[in-house]
Amino acid sequence: MLGARAATLMRRAAPALLVAGASLLGGAGRADDGAAASIESRDATYWLSRIHEAAGRRNFQGTFVVSAGGSVASARIVHFCDGRNQYERIESLDGQKRQVYRHNEVVHSFWPHRRLAVVETRRALNEFPALLTANVGRIVEHYAVQPLGDGRVAGHEAHVLLLSPKDGYRYGYRLWAEKASGLLLRAEVLDEHEAVLEASAFSDLMIGVKPRPELVLQAMNRTEGYDVQRPKLEPIALEREGWSFSALPPGFTLVSSVKRSMAPGEAEGGNGGGAHPVLQTIYSDGLTYVSLFIEPYDATRHRREMLVAMGATQTLTRRQGDWWLTVIGDVPPATLRAFAAGLDRRP
């Protein structure tokens, strides 16, 4: 499960430390309970905007560690910003080696042990530390934002915010934003009782490093000796493919919809050969995402319906007539069920 989780985070370019255990989640990492809030409630949305902007405008490098469901993985990230151009390198530090390079929307993923390189053009979804969308107004419609005071992460002073969901369709969040830059240093995903499902943070971080985009561009082009694959993503309208939603969970809107080739089990985080066409749609409430995969039902591969959890990430699989649905998101199970129940196949 750790390998699947780490691969998912690498695909999303999401540096994170998901730390299990009260000893790591408490103490110095938390906001100072005895201190007065250092930012007023009216300034909370300002800090949400700063968190969003900092991830795209700052040059930084550091180490992140992910932990969920008792599993732990780590990776190194380098991020450069040069005008409107974004450059990023992420390298796994555990398990099989994997490197991901990004120049704007062009992403190259390398598996050296398999001599495999995958080149894709895709929209970069907002993930840690680029967690928030530009439309902060959408977030405050569905989350109550409260300042918690000051904190400290990886040697950096931070402001701490609590985002409490206004309904049962999403989880809560606790965010640490670096005071000087606004860069997100740590994020915890909270259940309805504010218990930590996942925690994401840098374990070491340097902000303001000199931008060296050539380090990313040169590595992206070192494909000699690799089997280079270029999956085709075809933008589609779900309605034209014969599908529609009678209802969506409140606050979630369409981000993208494509037809792609996918290896069996990839949607659930597995592996396998024999790629086949799959419809993929992504929805967001401005903070979290839900992905829906639709493919023809195959009894040899789709053996049972299930709902599984790994930290905050829930995966629901279900048969619908001649089709197989997979719904994945960092949301409560009720949200995935609502997506599956609201999807209709038109004759």
Residue 173 lies in a domain: yes
What CATH number should be reported for the domain holding residue 54?
2.50.20.10
Residue 215 lies in a domain: no
Domain end call among 191, 207, 223:
207
Q: Are residues 273 and 176 in the same domain?
A: no
- Residue whose tokens read 């499902």: 197
Q: How many domains does the chain have?
A: 2
Q: Are residues 113 and 189 in the same domain?
A: yes
> How does pLDDT run across 137-169, given as a tens digit for each residue?
788 889 999 999 999 999 999 999 999 999 999
Q: Say if CB 211 and CB 82 are below 8 A apart.
A: yes
**Domain limits at 113?**
2-207
14 vs 55: CA distance, rounded Å: 11
Q: Are residues 94 and 178 in the same domain?
A: yes
Q: Which two tokens stand for residue 161?
A: 């915010």
Domain end call among 172, 207, 242:
207
Which distant-in-sequence residues (6+ apart) come within 8 Å of 111 by Cβ? Answer: 96, 97, 98, 117
Q: Are residues 64 and 23 in the same domain?
A: yes
Q: Are residues 76 and 148 in the same domain?
A: yes
Residue 224 lies in a domain: no
Q: Are residues 35 and 184 in the same domain?
A: yes
Residue 277 lies in a domain: yes
Q: Are residues 131 and 61 in the same domain?
A: yes
Q: Are residues 256 and 318 in the same domain?
A: yes
> How does pLDDT run across 2-25, given as a tens digit for each residue?
334 444 433 333 332 222 222 222
Q: Using CB atoms within 10 A of its CB, is residue 147 exposed (0-12), middle (13-18) or buried (19+)?
A: buried
Q: Are residues 7 and 106 in the same domain?
A: yes
Given a cut of 80, whether residue 276 has pLDDT beyond it is no
pLDDT band for position 199 (cuts 50, 70, 90): confident
Question: How far does CA 242 lie from the centroid of its chain?
Answer: 28
> How does pLDDT run across 123-132, given as a tens digit for each residue?
655 455 655 6
Least confident window among 52-56, 230-234, 259-263 = 259-263
